[in-house]
Homo-oligomer: A and B are copies of this chain.
Amino acid sequence: MNYRAFLKSEWLGLIRRKQDTLNAILFFVMVITLFPLGVSPDASFLAPAAGGIIWCATALSILMAVEGMYKEDYSDGSLEQWLTSSLSLSWLVFIKTLVHWLVVLVPLVCILPVLASMLFLPMDLVGVVLVTLLLGTPAMFFFGSIGAALTVSLRRGAVLMLLIIMPLYIPVIIFATGAIRAAQLGMPFSGQLAILAALSLMSLVISPVMAAISIKASVK
């Protein structure tokens, strides 16, 4: 096993399986369509709330995508193989999370314009939403990765996962939607973006280490 082979197989796995990815996307679409249906189809309600709705949907679908990230690797013995290989566990975690991020984010970004227009989000704001997504979602994936790693060996430990991750997601959502709202009001929002980027960077550094510790502890 080496890093390149690992990267290739992760990529292949996500493409081959499609399900996880599609699930996340479907979930995203579903949350977004539920709102006009469940709350109100009025543009006057939807337009100002659109940024928030999109971000909530994103958070939920990322959570779904990330939740079982290591589960299969645990049950088929792959985690043991990672540990016996002389590769650094932190790097493996990093690669895996990054691939997941890419595979979920790209289709999500692709359908965003359609969904945004369903929510009556003005076209010039779509760009801002996109930027917040690009800057903020890595943090969600990487923090999520810690939770997933902590709970792999627990027989369906998804609750814990939620409990652990939820507090980590809140700042991301607040700053992202804050940026969108500021843009809506025509105010500057580069500050929020900078914070989002900082959060993502921090998660990039912390998460592989923490997730590696957790994985190591859960192989028994």
Are A30 and B162 touching (Cβ within 8 A)? Answer: yes
Q: Does A52 contact B (CB under 8 A)?
A: yes
Determine the distance from Cα of A34 to Cα of B53 in the docked complex, in whole angstroms: 9
Chain A, residues 25-38, CB within 8 Å of chain B (1/0): the string is 01100110111011
Question: Is A39's CB within 8 Å of the partner chain B?
Answer: yes
Are B37 and A159 in contact, with the CB atoms below 8 A?
Answer: no
Q: Are B38 and A159 neighbours in the complex by a CB distance under 8 Å?
A: no
Q: How far is the CB of A15 from chain B (nearest CB, A)?
A: 11
Q: B159 touching A39 by the CB < 8 A rule?
A: no
Q: Is A116 an interface residue (CB 8 A)?
A: no
Q: A35 and B56 in contact (CB under 8 A), knowing A26-B162, A162-B26?
A: yes
How many angstroms from the CA of A37 to the CA of B23 in the assembled complex? 25
The segment from A88-96, A149-157, A200-208 that touches chain B is: A149-157
- In the complex, the answer to whether B75 meets A156 with C-beta atoms within 8 Å is no
This chain: copies in complex: 2
> Does any Cβ of B come within 8 Å of A177's Cβ?
yes
Mostly, the A contact residues are helix
* Number of chain A residues whose Cβ lies closer than 8 Å to a Cβ of chain B: 48
The residue from B22, B37, B177 contacting A37, defined by CB atoms under 8 A apart = B177
A158: chain B residues at CB < 8 Å are: 19-20, 23
* Known A38-B173, A49-B40, A59-B34; contact A155-B19, beta-carbon cutoff 8 A: yes
Across-interface contacts of A19 in B (CB, < 8 A): 151, 154-160
List of B residues within 8 angstroms of A64 by Cβ? 64
Is A163 part of the contact surface with B, judged by Cβ < 8 Å?
Answer: yes
List B contacts of A155 (CB < 8 A). 17, 19
Closest B residue, CB atoms, query A53: B39
The 5 closest A-B pairs by CB, nearest first: A39-B52, A38-B52, A22-B159, A19-B156, A34-B56
Given contacts A39-B51, A64-B64, 20 further A-B contacts (CB under 8 A): A17-B155, A19-B155, A19-B157, A20-B156, A20-B158, A23-B156, A27-B162, A30-B166, A30-B169, A31-B60, A33-B170, A35-B56, A37-B173, A37-B174, A37-B177, A38-B51, A38-B53, A39-B53, A40-B48, A40-B52
